[in-house]
A and B are shown apart, each in its own frame.
Chain A
Amino acid sequence: MRALRAASLRHLLRHPAQLALALVGLTLGVGTMVAVDIATQSARRAFELSVAAVNGAATHEIVGGPGGIDERLYVRLRAALRGAAEPAAHFAPVVAGYVSAGGRIFELIGLDPFASAELDAGAGRAAAFGVRRLEEVRGWFTRPGAVVMNAAAAHALGVAAGASIVLEVGGVAHRATLIARLAGTSAGLDTLIFTDIAQAQEWLQSTGKLSRIDVRLPADSAGAALAGELAALLPPGLTLRSMRAGTRETLAMTDAFTTNLKAMSLLALLVGTLLIYGAVSFAVLQRRTIIGVLRALGATRREVLAMVLGEAALLGLAGAACGALLGLLIGRGLVGLVSRTINDLYFVVAVNEVSVPPAALLEACGAGLATALLAALLPALEVAASAPTLGLARSVLEGRALRIARRLALLGLALAAGAGLTVALSSRSLLAGFAALFLLLVAVAAVTPAVLRALAQVCARLAAGVSSVARLACADVGASLSRTGVAIAALGMALAAMIGVGVMVESFRESLREWLLQAMRADVYVTAPGPSEGLERRLEPQVIEAILSVPGIRAHSEGRRITVTSPSGPVDLNAVGLAAESYAGYRFTAGEPARAWEEFAHGAVLISEPLAWRLSLAPGSALTLSTDAGTRAFPVAGVYREYGNDRGEVLIDLPEYRRWWRDDAIAGLGLFLAPGVSAGPVSDAVRAAVGTRQALLIRSNAAIRALSMRIFERTFVITRVLYWLAAGVAAVGLLSALLAWELERARELALLRALGLTPAATAALVLAQTVFMGLVALLVAIPAGLLTALTLTEVINRRAFGWRIDLHLAPEQFTNALWLALAAALAAGIYPAWRGARAAPGERLREE
């Protein structure tokens, strides 16, 4: 056994480059996984922190529709639900909305500090009664525009305590004074501005209304009973929900997004697995002789198995450790990308703290170890099973590799069939979609060696007539499957993924562009600034009047976006009064347009594809929403294509909306211009007509389209980063394999040199071989990539978001893959080529 260990150690130390490259592959794979974990967890954590910062002690919240909650309900509730002796439930009113300051968006939280303190008291967050400054207290209640924020927010706005800032609420500027800074370190506070509830109501124009009522109920069974009692007390349109449920609902919006990220990171690890497999099996192959000798000397199979697996485990652990470190580094970078995407698409969150979930690090170690052991298992079993001879002839080895390649090809076909079957048998599961995707990619890897072999033979035959060296080069590639097959397979898989993702993004982009062209019918859009579903986005009636009096406007549509609650979670509502031209902007994917519009005008709703998918709705079914007059089931008249909102939206006729919700605000106008009138002058005229009453977003059709495309590109940056990482892992793998191969056949090359091949020709030979391998990988990757793209668009995207995307091919998807294949192959070949050319023929031959 000592001899085995010594042999193992010496081998590893004698091949440091090989060791290092295998390690790099694993490190990249594990690192990508850890990085994605860190980035998504940090964003999640930041959101939870900001929830906790505002209503940390609350167990429930009462939420209402866009009309808010009548503040008198709060007063009534304080008196209700009191037991004989003790107040069992605590309530705190909150008026919240989005404001912008210094070009950034903040959540304005209006509180009654007394009620909030009472809610918090006895909840394990007893406030530190250490405050002695009268001015802050008086200021909170009596200074006009008094606000409080933490140091980070104040720093971001460049405002000192006592100084003024301008807050814009839906485009209307208000002067606020920072009366005190909270020195708290909770990152959850970084996007919050606190003010008195009275001030918040006035700024947000919601006097008489509350956004929500935070509730603290006892945690025991009495609390559950109270929750039931409380829910029964609420007027129609209001819901009592647990804070956890609320947070979960918000976070659930990002589920599909984070699942996609996770899958991309697993792809990198999958590529890493292949590399470990390559490295270990190669290391085993190189040592067949010595292992054979050791077996003949009495080492048992078990000992040999233990040795190989032990090496793999060490490699796995080292890779996991390096991967975890790398993940920490990449994770910090990814956090920014992930939070920007979430801000663009879902909710406002500032991720200032990178949280490293211990689970992610454990997962990384587990994944690294499992990957390495799994990858090493086959070669280990194989070498342990071999008879204790003095090793096998190389030809026997290659013969075996060939048989394996054939078996693998069959396996690959079976896997591909399995992928198809998985998709066919599951209809909605996103997980099954990803499973199919991975099966497909593994199938690509499995068939690549056989394809390589076959193509090499064909080329060798073709080249035979041209030059014996070319024939030799081709045949050599085909005959060295045991060394190169795995690396080529990994490259093929990475390229397929790259092509697939590239085609998917391109298809998505084109579908979005087409949709924007069709849906954006109006010439000029005027909206109140703010987050898309923010209640505070409203155009003042006088402002609307002023806008519509601008000459040159032929027609207009108007709309209001809000989020309402429903039994299936929050649903975005788009209440519209459409101009005649607007109707053509909706492309139906289910339902007959004429009939659907007819029903729409009579109280039915239309829903976008993602919502139809998410809630399994179709024309004829009903969508239940919580209105201000209680829940109501709205008939669904049609499903239309919409890419603007991955959670989906409901289109409802404005009069119908106002019938069910107490809200007559308009958040945006679409202006249709008379023939010959252009958008620029009208925009200027609108701006002049509105004057300083409200700062509005006035944008032309083209500007909105450009903005949408820009946001789209931003949200896919992270996808790109991840697939480049996967491709990087593959390139490293190829380099590792080629280097090892070349080092092993140094004698062969030396023989060729001795037979008269010039150094340049030797280098060219090596490079040609590596480029050939790269091209074979690409050849396999192209059809596989198209299949991957199809899976991504038709299965993954559909199941994650409900979008239907038209497949769109662009040459750069393939040229990118070509450049990567060539670059990887050349990079991997240069050093071996240089060494092969430089070696003195005699010296190498004498070595053994």
Chain B
Amino acid sequence: MTTTHMRRVAAIAGIMGALAWLMARGLPPPDPAVLPAGADGGFAEAVAPRAFVFPRDHGPHPEFRQEWWYVTGNLDGAGGERFGFELTFFRFALAPPAGADGASAADDEEHPAKSLWRTRQVYMAHFAITDVGARRFRYAQKLARGALGLAGAAGAPLRVWIDDWTLAAPGGAGGDWKLAAAQPGYALELGLQPLTPPVLNGEAGLSCKSDVPGSASYYYSVPHIAVHGTLSRQGKPLAVAGLAWLDREWGSGGLGPGEAGWDWFALQLDDGTELMFYALRARDGSRDPHSAGTWVESSGAAHGLASAAVGIEVTARWTSADGVQYPAGWRIRVPSLALDVAVHPVLADQELKTTPRYFEGAVDVRGTRAGRALGGRGYVELVGYAR
């Protein structure tokens, strides 16, 4: 099981949230077995490393079951205000591509006149703002089918969108990217300038997170993106600038048994280096050995980190108003890098009460590397705590 998987679960659950509109009137009782692995064939699978080609691979891979574009970042306002933001797009295919398997593809049915609403692709997006000064965390969710231009993803040039929430690279890979999203009270428009080329995580971009064949995903990051733009608060525009992180992942695998969730860290340190690490949690609370990470030097050179290379100690806990307990402070040590940092959320409550609920929050980093003081910022994602 992987972050991909869990995020995919999130996507499914989100869709179901939408269906809950209908089903609130009472579908059969919840089924704990959410997603049997390899439920249906017909999807492409991430089984071997592939040649990544950019900008093509920034675009969608509809032959895989699920995929996401995940932008998080920390922003500073012109007047010293501090913000965090998350804008994530999920693509989820409900059936394999037509002709791949045929058995379950609705596309194959003959229609005298086919509705443009027909699609097997659905999209979900989350937009969250952490307004540190106001001690306020706000999030919104959108769900739409990939039809009629309501939502979709295009590769050349990159554009992923639901309604007016967009992540796009209008000028091609070389130029600035743009993102835009709005929710009650907050609207964000940013230009994104990748300062490093994409970093391939795992084995040359193939991220194996369990022993189950085909459960892997393709996973790359753009860990160092300069952003600048406008954040409107209650309609009042404010110039903002900062640093963002893009995570891209796609695959078709299913959930492994015995997994409870994960803690994901993306830390951007002041010396221009980045640390990404995901700690997969087994149901008994222990760390799954498939946990892994990537260390990116300021030059852009990347090195994989095995599970044993990273020590994480929880130093604080936070309990949501309705009793879900999350870790809320960590001491992370990477002996091989002589790195020892403390990580703290900038705001305790950065939980998205979507389906499923998860924590996605801006964090501060304080510590040392090789004995020298080091600061930084980042994002932490905590999944699987709310049951």
Residues of A within 8 A of B (CB): 71-72, 75, 78-79, 82-87, 111-118, 120, 125, 127-134, 136-138, 140-144, 148, 150, 161, 180-184, 186, 189, 194, 196-199, 201-202, 205, 207-208
Residues A183 and B25 in contact, CB atoms below 8 Å apart: yes
In the docked arrangement, what's the CA distance between A120 and B23, Å? 13
Interface residues on B, range: 35 or more
With A85-B182, A114-B145 in contact, do A131 and B111 touch (Cβ < 8 Å)?
no
Nearest-CB residue, chain B, relative to A135: B31
With A84-B187, A112-B117, A208-B116 in contact, do A184 and B25 touch (Cβ < 8 Å)?
yes
Q: Select one of B34, B35, B94 contacting A141, CB under 8 A.
A: B94
Residues A82 and B164 in contact, CB atoms below 8 Å apart: yes
Residue numbers in A under 8 Å from B143 (CB-CB): 114, 117-118
Residues B26 and A129 in contact, CB atoms below 8 Å apart: no
Q: Whole-angstrom distance from the CB of B188 to the nearest CB of chain A?
A: 10
Q: Whole-angstrom distance from the CB of A172 to the nearest CB of chain B?
A: 10
A-B contact pairs, 16 of them (CB 8 A): A71-B117, A114-B143, A127-B20, A129-B16, A131-B23, A131-B30, A134-B31, A136-B27, A142-B94, A142-B120, A183-B25, A184-B25, A194-B22, A198-B118, A205-B113, A207-B116
Chain A CB within 10 A, most for which of B16, B22, B119: B22
User: Does B163 count as interface, using CB distance less than 8 angstroms?
Assistant: yes
Nearest-CB residue, chain B, relative to A180: B27
User: Does B267 count as interface, using CB distance less than 8 angstroms?
Assistant: no
Q: Select one of A86, A143, A198, A205 contacting B117, CB under 8 A.
A: A198
In the docked arrangement, what's the CA distance between A130 and B25, Å? 11
Q: Whole-angstrom distance from the CB of A403 to the nearest CB of chain B?
A: 69
User: Does B115 count as interface, using CB distance less than 8 angstroms?
Assistant: yes
User: Does B122 count as interface, using CB distance less than 8 angstroms?
Assistant: yes
In the docked arrangement, what's the CA distance between A71 and B22, Å? 22
Q: Select one of B28, B111, B185, B234 contacting A133, CB under 8 A.
A: B28
Q: Which of B138-172 contact A (CB under 8 A)?
A: 142-145, 147-150, 163-164
In the docked arrangement, what's the CA distance between A675 and B306, Å? 94
Q: Whole-angstrom distance from the CB of A42 to the nearest CB of chain B?
A: 21
Residues A182 and B25 in contact, CB atoms below 8 Å apart: yes
Nearest-CB residue, chain A, relative to B113: A207
Residue numbers in B under 8 Å from A150 (CB-CB): 25
Residues A134 and B34 in contact, CB atoms below 8 Å apart: yes
User: Does B260 count as interface, using CB distance less than 8 angstroms?
Assistant: no
Nearest-CB residue, chain B, relative to A208: B116
Residue numbers in B under 8 Å from A186 (CB-CB): 25
Residues B115 and A130 in contact, CB atoms below 8 Å apart: no
Q: Select one of A113, A161, A202, A207 contacting B22, CB under 8 A.
A: A113
Residues B148 and A182 in contact, CB atoms below 8 Å apart: no
Q: Select one of A112, A128, A205 contacting B20, CB under 8 A.
A: A128
User: Does B323 count as interface, using CB distance less than 8 angstroms?
Assistant: no
Residue numbers in B under 8 Å from A184 (CB-CB): 24-26
User: Does B347 count as interface, using CB distance less than 8 angstroms?
Assistant: no
Q: Whole-angstrom distance from the CB of A298 to the nearest CB of chain B?
A: 71
In the docked arrangement, what's the CA distance between A415 and B104, Å? 77
Q: Whole-angstrom distance from the CB of A734 to the nearest CB of chain B?
A: 54
Residues B235 and A84 in contact, CB atoms below 8 Å apart: yes
User: Does B264 count as interface, using CB distance less than 8 angstroms?
Assistant: no
In the docked arrangement, what's the CA distance between A118 and B145, Å? 13
The 5 closest A-B pairs by CB, nearest first: A184-B25, A183-B26, A198-B117, A117-B21, A198-B115
Interface residues of B: mostly helix, strand, loop or mixed? loop
In the docked arrangement, what's the CA distance between A143 and B112, Å? 17
Residue numbers in B under 8 Å from A131 (CB-CB): 16-17, 19-20, 23, 27, 30
Residue numbers in B under 8 Å from A141 (CB-CB): 94-95, 106, 119-120, 122, 145
User: Does B210 count as interface, using CB distance less than 8 angstroms?
Assistant: no
Residue numbers in B under 8 Å from A180 (CB-CB): 23, 27-28
Residues A111 and B106 in contact, CB atoms below 8 Å apart: no
In the docked arrangement, what's the CA distance between A136 and B32, Å? 14
In the docked arrangement, what's the CA distance between A117 and B23, Å? 10
Residue numbers in B under 8 Å from A116 (CB-CB): 18, 21-22
Residue numbers in A under 8 Å from B144 (CB-CB): 114-115
Q: Whole-angstrom distance from the CB of B323 to the nearest CB of chain A?
A: 17
Residue numbers in B under 8 Å from A132 (CB-CB): 13, 16, 30-32, 34
In the docked arrangement, what's the CA distance between A82 and B163, Å? 11
Residues B19 and A113 in contact, CB atoms below 8 Å apart: yes
Residues B25 and A197 in contact, CB atoms below 8 Å apart: no
User: Does B186 count as interface, using CB distance less than 8 angstroms?
Assistant: yes
Chain A CB within 10 A, most for which of B28, B35, B232: B28
Residues B187 and A148 in contact, CB atoms below 8 Å apart: no
Residues A133 and B27 in contact, CB atoms below 8 Å apart: yes
Nearest-CB residue, chain B, relative to A146: B106
Cβ contacts B18-50/A at 8 Å (1 or 0 each) = 111111111110111011000100000000000
Q: Select one of A115, A120, A194, A199 contacting B115, CB under 8 A.
A: A199
Residue numbers in A under 8 Å from B27 (CB-CB): 131, 133, 136, 180-183
Residues B145 and A142 in contact, CB atoms below 8 Å apart: no
Residues A142 and B355 in contact, CB atoms below 8 Å apart: no
Residue numbers in B under 8 Å from A208 (CB-CB): 116
Q: Whole-angstrom distance from the CB of B247 to the nearest CB of chain A?
A: 24
In the docked arrangement, what's the CA distance between A144 and B39, Å? 19
Q: Whole-angstrom distance from the CB of B161 to the nearest CB of chain A?
A: 11
In the docked arrangement, what's the CA distance between A198 and B148, Å? 11
Residues A201 and B184 in contact, CB atoms below 8 Å apart: no
Q: Select one of A85, A183, A199 contacting B185, CB under 8 A.
A: A85
Residues A144 and B106 in contact, CB atoms below 8 Å apart: yes
Residue numbers in B under 8 Å from A205 (CB-CB): 112-113
Residues B94 and A117 in contact, CB atoms below 8 Å apart: no
